[in-house]
Amino acid sequence: MCNVMIWHSVRYPVAPNFLVPRCCQAGWDAMKDDAKGAVLAGTLERGMRILALFADHHTPLGISEIARLTGLEKSAAHRLARTLLATGYLDRDETTRRYRPGLRMLDMAFAYLVPDLTNLARTVSSSVATR
């Protein structure tokens, strides 16, 4: 998790320059390296940029902020955010009209963590059983 936001420009094979938190740089560099010479789905990549914002922004974001932080046009940010809302990856506060991570994001995090949690549980139970 990043406490200090240091912004800099990043160039992607399918997207224009935009600002990314430096703390996320390792993940973005890996994506860039894996993507060299590959045909990527630009819309998916832009949607993932929106989701990635919430790794470092722990407050809800409005469309203008999402557009500015991702380098997307405001209309594109709105369409993508509405799609992510419809699929459960984002939630929207109807009063403030700001977006935050949805429950599907938690589902994805849990799916990622399950193997590690299972292995940890086995290790702990084995340790307790041998005592």
| CATH code of 12's domain | 1.10.10.10
Chain position carrying tokens 């940890």 = 120
The string of pLDDT tens digits covering residues 38-90 is: 677 889 999 999 999 998 888 999 999 999 999 999 999 999 999 999 999 99
Q: What pLDDT was estimated at residue 30?
A: 56
The size of the chain, in residues, is: 131
Give the confidence band of 23 by pLDDT, cuts at 50, 70, 90. Answer: very low
Predicted pLDDT of residue 13? 38
The tally of domains found in the chain comes to: 1
Would you state the pLDDT for residue 99? 97
Range(s) of the domain holding residue 30? 7-103
Binning the chain into helix, strand and coil, the percentages to the nearest 5 are 55, 15, 30
